[in-house]
Amino acid sequence: MNRRQLALLILLSTAIGFMMFSSLTSGLASVRPPVVIIGSGLAGLSAAMEALSAGQRVHMLERATKPGGNSIKASSGINGVPTPYQPPGDSIDLFKSDTIRSAGSRYTASRQALVDTLVEQSASAIEWLSSLGVDLSKVAQLGGHSAARTHRGSSGPPPGFAIVSTLLNKLKASEGFTLSTNADVTALSLSPLSVTYQTPDDGAVSLPAASVVFASGGFAGDGPGLLAHYRPDLAGMPSTNDARRDNAHSLLVGAGAELVDMDSVQVHPTGFVDPKEPTQPIKFLAAEALRGEGGILLHEGRRFVNELETREHVSAAIMRLPTKEGEGRQWDVTLLLDPGACSAAKTHVDFYVFKGLLRRTKVRDLDDKVRAAVDAYAAGVAGDQDAFGGKSFGHWTLQAGDADAEVCIGRVTPVTHFTMGGAVIDADARVLNANGGQIGGVFAAGEVTGGLHGDNRLGGSSLLECVVFGRIAGRNAAKAAGARQE
């Protein structure tokens, strides 16, 4: 073999060796642990989008059969300030003030960073969702808000479904995304970082993780478990949440996380009572947008509250009334929308009528007391005066004495809806221990966290919280994963 042949052989061997090494390292990279996200509601989906954008693989674990969590059922909308869709009169400072006022006595200066993050990133949350193709062009004012800032689509499905389905479709088209349903997470290990989950088909599966994001939701449906432990006084009330035992909080506590505000449970004032199954314990939410657009509440033919006060205030006013005889902890309250409110909330109204939860009727066919209350309210709207003071009348157009007008009515009752308590996080969505230290590689977003909403969450801030802190959690989980892989 001459020198030239020898040199060619060495060069060829080197090239083959380099290709083999590249193939090997590429294979190793492909089996690097993923960012594991527990929960497939909007917080988890937002985190997954950001982690994938940062170049990390994502494995999402959902304990239900179908993804979407409670987020997919959200019907009122998502808050944002300032946005191109809003009428004038709102501001970041006003939104912060409303959030703090709603949080009540639980608000402290130490929580200000969470409020600032939520509000200051609300406009970018709306912009991000809009850029993905979600219509959020219609804006309404909900209870507890000083201005119109809750966004939803001008047509089509309710906002929760529209947002969640859009993100799910984009994630399912991504090569780096894996979704496991019917996957109940049973253990979390910090060293090395991993989760164990159980499925009907595969049994117990141990999954190494580059980082973990808890986005598993709240515990308002965990009647015999956490709800009974922290709020036994709410026993027997219907709920908008599926009845299920929660174990995410215990896993977080086992990892050293601090929990806060666990006794702060929001009772939503309006869950529909289905006339076909009035005592069904799981209720369909009557969106706050129905009252925001002009709907009123009546008990025995009279109004009894400013319908646009906070959820806490309206729920308390209803719960001071006598319960419906023979129905346990259920109340008999009528929700009534005039033609203007029905038109403004058309997509919601059409859906509820289809479900049999609202019905259309003429004013002349109403009970005498109800008709008198409607006429009295209409006269007040015409004179820009309300018995409860300071109320926005929304899109109410009905005039007193118009017996031919068509209204929509349904029965509602308070329901356990949302839990404000959960794991303590910082503004970077890092889960903290009792000393304020970070729990390495563990992040959380959405209803599983606590400290932001205090006594009461504003309508429209649940989806917002999921997007804002979900995106933050996803970005920081990806960074943490990258640091572990270097």
291, 395, 417, 457: the active-site residue: 291
Does residue 106 have an active-site annotation?
Answer: no
The amino acid at residue 433 is N
Pairing of strands 296-298, 406-419: unpaired
Give strand ranges (E) for 258-331.
259-260, 265-272, 296-298
Q: Is 397 left (phi over 0), alpha (psi -120 to 50) or beta?
A: alpha
DSSP H helical segments within 141-197, as ranges?
159-172
Does residue 268 have an active-site annotation?
Answer: yes
d(CA 239, CA 270): 11
Q: Both tokens of residue 383?
A: 């004179």
Query: In angstroms, how far is CA 324 from the centroid of its own chain?
Result: 30
* CB-based contacts of 313, cutoff 8 Å, min separation 6: 143, 305, 306
Would you say 280 and 410 are in contact if contact means Cβ atoms under 8 Å apart? no
d(CA 423, CA 437): 13
Q: Name the β-bridge partners of 339.
A: none
* CB-based contacts of 436, cutoff 8 Å, min separation 6: none
Decide: helix, strand or coil at residue 69. coil
152, 249, 268, 457: the active-site residue: 268
Residues forming the active site: 268, 291
